[in-house]
Structure 1
Amino acid sequence: MKRVAYVVHQSQGRLRLRLGWLREKPNEGDAIADHLSRLDGMEEVEVRPFTGSVLCLYDPTELDDSRILDALRAFTRADQVVLPGEESPAEVEGEIVRLALFNGSEVARAATRMFEELDLGVLRATRGSVNLGTLAAMGFLAAGATQVARRGKLPLPPWFNLAWWAFRTFMISERKVIDDERAEFTDRIEAAAKS
């Protein structure tokens, strides 16, 4: 894996980097912190190997970003430093996939927002007595019971059962995304209610 250092944020006296390889080699974090701490003007270096984050706080009258990046590149043998706004190199597209797996895919987040909006509509229409999950479960149960009553036997699963199982599997497998979107959605609703 190529070593790429991403500059996440730059401001006077503060530089945040992302080093994806630290997740696979967390023992390098202390050595990087020690090396960068020796630079004249460096006040603090905080390395979090689990996230690959490196935060440098420094005196801008004695040190600048370019010297920090040069020292980092030389010490870690980083192949490339990617500045904000630059495109990611093809070699690190795996990083994008890992982030999507950790944070959820764009489609999962969009689908979650859609179901949140539907849920809000159902809650408003029923004055808070029924939500989308309860309504869907009751609807599928009623449809299934009607079909069993009409035929007098248990049939093979119809499309709506399969659709429900697909929906339920999605809700279980994307729990983190749903919880994150729910918190964001709740914050928006509370902000709208206050204004």
Structure 2
Amino acid sequence: MTKSIHVIHTSPGRIRLRLPWLRRDGKEAASLADDLLRVEGINEVQVRPFTGSVLCMHDPEEMGVERLIEEVCRSTGVDTVVRPGEELPDGDALLRSLEKGSGVARAATLFIKGLNVEVLRATEGHVDLGALAALGFAAAGAVDIAVKGKLDSPPWFSLGWWAFRTFATMEELAIRNTSAHVRHNNGDAHPPGKTAH
């Protein structure tokens, strides 16, 4: 797979990049953070190897966005840069799927969204597909109990799935805001959730 650097967002003094291959190499992620902090004008680097996200805080008067991207290219040896709105290079179908979801997932999402619109239209906006599915499962469970006369315990994989799903739903804010180790230009590393000023 061709390595490429994806520019996700830029604003004065801040740039977020995605380097998908960092997810397979934690040492390279740490090395990149150390290299970038040696460059004058870069004040802070946050690397999240799990997602391949690289966030750089920089002094916009000392370090422009283009120069910062050049430094990332130099440090990684990668010269393919994909900017917002640009297509991925040929052969990067895997990266496209990582960024936007697989083709099957996108097609299924399109189908389900269309079905949801039809349910909302048929019920004049009173019930959506999620509510209909929840009511359907509850009714099926009630019928099963009525027929069998007892409440069966769910199989282990159902319990596992619901435990994971409940955690992901209830802790969405924490999952989205959990930060990685942050390296500052003084060389200190700080644990997640703590930064030095």
SS at match of 1:62: coil
What residue in structure 2 maps to residue 40 of structure 1?
40
* Distance 1:82-1:109 versus aligned 2 partners, 3 A rule: same
Calculate the aligned-residue CA RMSD, in Å: 3.8
Q: Structure 1 length normalisation: TM-score? A: 0.59
1:7 aligns with 2:7: yes
Which runs of 5 or more structure 1 residues have no equivalent in the other structure? 139-171, 181-195
- Preserved CA contact (<8 Å) 1:48 1:54: yes
What residue in structure 2 maps to residue 54 of structure 1?
54
Deviation (angstroms), 1:137: 10
- How high is the sequence identity, in percent, across the aligned residues? 35
Which residue identity lines up with residue 32 of structure 2 in the other structure?
I
Q: Which has the higher contact order (CA 8 A, sep 6+)?
A: 2
- Preserved CA contact (<8 Å) 2:45 2:57: yes
* Distance 1:42-1:29 versus aligned 2 partners, 3 A rule: same
SS at match of 1:27: helix
Which residue identity lines up with residue 88 of structure 2 in the other structure?
S
* Distance 1:97-1:85 versus aligned 2 partners, 3 A rule: closer
Which runs of 5 or more structure 2 residues have no equivalent in the other structure? 140-160, 170-197
- Aligned pairs, number: 143
- Preserved CA contact (<8 Å) 1:3 1:77: no
What residue in structure 2 maps to residue 151 of structure 1?
none
SS at match of 1:51: coil
Q: Structure 2 length normalisation: TM-score? A: 0.59
* Distance 1:76-1:123 versus aligned 2 partners, 3 A rule: same
What residue in structure 2 maps to residue 79 of structure 1?
79
| Larger CA Rg, structure 1 vs 2 | 1
**Whole-angstrom CA distance in 1 between matches of 2:11 and 2:5:** 17
Deviation (angstroms), 1:56: 0.7
Deviation (angstroms), 1:69: 1.4
Paired residues for 1:1-195 under 5 Å: 1-99=1-99, 100-101=101-102, 105-120=105-120, 132-133=132-133, 134=135
Deviation (angstroms), 1:124: 5.7
